Structures are given as C-alpha cells and as structure tokens.
A = this chain, B = another copy of it.
C-alpha cells in the first residue's frame, strides 16, 4: 500500500507517519520509484504499536525506539526478548540499597519467590526491573508501618500468576514471533489501566454484596 492508504487504515496522519519514519520508529517502505514507497501489513502493525506506546502509554520517543530494538532482536531467545522489550519501558527508580527497609524488602521478596515456587523469576532477579519494582513497593508499605501479611502477598502473587498465564496464552495466539513480541509490549501498555479499573469495579461489586448500599 502507499503512504495515503497506510494513513487511512491506521488513522495516523501522513505527517506523523513521516515523523515516525525519520525517527526510525517505523522501518522504511520498499522504494518502487524515486518518489513512491510501498508499505505492508507489518508497517500497519508497527504503526499501531508505536501509537499505543506514545499516545496511550505516554512513553517518550527515545524509549519507544529502545523497546522496538529489543522487539526486533531475533538473536535473543523468546523469554529474554519479551522480557527485554518490557524492561525498556519506563520503570520505578532504583531501590536505595543503603536503606534498611529496602534490604529487608529484598529478603521478603526472595522468600516470596521461594514460597510461590517462582524459580525462573528467581534466576532473573539481578537483571529484572520487575523484581526491583516489587522490592520498592514492598519497602514503601513496610516503611509506612503497614502490616500487609506475607500470606496475603503470596495470595496476590498466585492470582497474578493466573493473570500472567492469560497474558501469555493471548500472546501465543499470534502466529509470528514479531507479533508475539509486539503483543507482549502492548499487553503491558494497554491492559494495565484495564486491570486496575476492573479491580476497582470488583471492589465496588464486592463491597455492595457485603455491606449493601444504605
């Protein structure tokens, strides 16, 4: 398809598409003559992904470029490639290892991974930003003196594992490795606000069941 059709089918203006091409967020089309390039379904898919990250996720252009570099790096195995693509997304600040609450949270999270039997996740603790995010979150509520119990965290962990199985089942419905990696990134950007809204709605539902509305 030509640029005009790519624009029509994606709902992205030709000016924005040209900007994404210049910024290297979209690979160049196949040049059919000096003034015309042809684009394919891969371009359309990539354009949607870029738009989701920038417009819905509010992710900076430089970060989008890094995420895409990982998505496209077929030299990586699938686990690492999907992980690396997500790991390039904006993350929480690094935990301060001199802080006693942070060190205690490291021990608590390590114990949690053992309790949950997440031995694969445990192999990644030195490189995974998700692990560091969890340490920061646990340290934050311990510092405030809140006693969310260890068993409660483990129960949340088990439910999130069920969520992750749904996530990966959905990723696997896509035929190509490119679409699998793209869907993993989109899943994070687009479904996190959805899960948060579902949780709050479910709280309202459950609250109404337990206490009524009077």
- A-side residues, CB < 8 A to B, are 11, 48, 51-52, 56, 77-80, 82-83, 86, 92, 113, 116, 118-121, 123-124, 128, 130-131, 133-134, 136-138, 140-141, 143-146, 148, 152-153, 155-157, 159-168, 170, 184, 186, 188, 190-214
When C-beta atoms are compared, the residue in chain B nearest to A202 turns out to be B164
Please tell me which one of the listed residues B153, B168, B188, B205 contacts residue A206 in the complex, with CB atoms under 8 A apart.
B168
Q: Do B200 and A130 touch (CB < 8 A)?
A: yes
Chain B residues closer than 8 Å to A212, beta-carbon distance: 77, 79
Q: Is the CB of A213 within 8 A of B160?
A: no
Contact of A77 among B201, B209, B213 (CB under 8 A): B213
- In this complex, the member of A86, A144, A153, A168 whose beta carbon has the largest number of chain B beta carbons within 10 angstroms is A144
Partner of A52, one of B144, B160, B168: B144
* Complex Cα gap A114–B134 (Å): 34
Q: Provide the bound-state CA to CA distance between A165 and B155, in Å.
A: 11
In the complex, chain B residues whose CB is within 8 Å of the CB of A157: 198, 202
Decide if B160 touches A198 in the complex (CB within 8 Å). Answer: yes
Q: Tell me how many chains of this kind the complex includes.
A: 2
Q: Please give the distance in Å from A61's CB to the nearest CB on chain B.
A: 18
Q: Which residues of B contact A210 (CB under 8 A)?
A: 79, 168
Chain B residue numbers with a CB within 8 Å of A207 are 78-79, 82-83, 120, 168
Min CB distance, A66 to chain B, in Å? 17
9 A-B residue pairs with Cβ-Cβ distance under 8 Å, sorted by A, are A48-B144, A48-B146, A78-B207, A83-B204, A120-B207, A121-B204, A123-B208, A141-B194, A148-B170
Find chain B residues with CB under 8 A from A195 CB.
156, 160, 195, 199
In the bound complex, how far is the Cα of B157 from the Cα of A205, in angstroms? 11
Chain B residues closer than 8 Å to A145, beta-carbon distance: 48
Q: Taking the nearest CB of chain B, how far is it from the CB of A134, in angstroms?
A: 4
Q: Looking at the complex, which one of B167, B170, B202 makes contact with A163 (CB distance below 8 Å)?
A: B202
With most chain B CB atoms within 10 A of its CB, the pick from A160, A167, A209, A210 is A160
